[in-house]
């Protein structure tokens, strides 16, 4: 079965992006109406700069935060061979390969484009999964690369970054001078609007993140032609995650959006706002894809 776009999923992604764009226009209109003296372009420029740093240095930032290191081919020849084979299947350049020392079995991909991609695994996932299951996980991560999800999420976070900066009302009041301080009512309204916009944009981004996980699962199934391997891998990883000490998961919790399954320690509010769909829904979607493949 060829790599085929899931138009139902694509429609949801496009709709989420459209809603984020409308939210951006509404928020900019509120700023212009209630704070006519504020330098809108300065705020946008600052957000663009932050998004640029996030986009161009995402691979280095994620590797640094997870303590993952780039490894040579002779250090992990079997892992390299699997990534190389799958990259060829997906018509992608060979990414860098990294290993992360952690008892949490997981994997992630990062990088601003296919030519600057990194695929990383924890050492524990290499011991947990068999060859087919590991290849299914690697194919999932390479699907993120093929779908350019880093670019998608960076663009999606733009509205939230602007709203977040506006929420720092005292900082911006001081920064833009006395005229803005005199417009106290305008600042209060904009501050309230920024909270609402930040909350809505965050929920939309979380929805977009969940959609991209479904898309990556589908990409893995089509790339390996073995969705059952990914189903088995997800079951093993989630089962093992339940017995990993919370402190081990807490160390890498900040990078959960990148992992194939989030490592939730149970000590934060992150469990209330998931970046990933429930395992049960992912498995159900993979079962449907398995039926599709069998028809061909």
The catalytic site residues sit at 141
State the Cα angle at 152 between 151 and 153, rounded to 5°: 95
Cα distance between residue 113 and residue 15, in whole Å = 23
């Amino acid at each position: 079965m060829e790599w085929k776009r899931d138009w139902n999923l694509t429609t949801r992604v496009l709709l989420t992006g459209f809603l984020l764009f409308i939210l951006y226009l509404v928020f900019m209109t509120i700023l212009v109406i209630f704070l006519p003296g504020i330098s809108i372009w300065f705020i946008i420029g600052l957000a663009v700069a932050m998004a640029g740093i996030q986009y161009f240095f995402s691979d280095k930032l994620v590797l640094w935060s997870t303590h993952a290191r780039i490894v040579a081919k002779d250090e992990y020849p079997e892992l390299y061979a699997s990534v190389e084979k799958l990259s060829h299947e997906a018509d992608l350049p060979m990414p860098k390969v990294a290993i992360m020392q952690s008892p949490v079995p997981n994997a992630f991909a990062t990088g601003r484009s296919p030519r600057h991609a990194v695929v990383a695994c924890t050492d524990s996932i290499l011991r947990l999964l068999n060859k087919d299951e590991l290849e299914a996980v690697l194919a999932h991560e390479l699907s993120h690369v093929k779908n350019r999800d880093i670019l998608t999420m960076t663009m999606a976070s733009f509205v939230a970054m602007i709203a977040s900066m506006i929420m720092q009302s005292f900082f911006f009041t001081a920064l833009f001078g006395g005229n803005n301080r005199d417009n106290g009512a305008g600042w209060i309204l904009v501050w309230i609007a920024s909270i609402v916009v930040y909350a809505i944009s965050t929920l939309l981004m979380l929805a977009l993140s969940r959609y991209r996980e479904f898309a990556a699962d589908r990409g893995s199934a089509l790339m390996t032609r073995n969705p059952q391997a990914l189903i088995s891998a997800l079951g093993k990883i989630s089962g093992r995650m339940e017995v990993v000490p919370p402190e081990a998961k807490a160390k890498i919790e900040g990078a959960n959006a990148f992992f194939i399954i989030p490592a939730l320690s149970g000590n934060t509010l992150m469990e209330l706002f998931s970046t990933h769909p429930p395992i049960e829904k992912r498995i159900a979607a993979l079962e449907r894809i398995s039926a599709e493949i069998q028809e061909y």
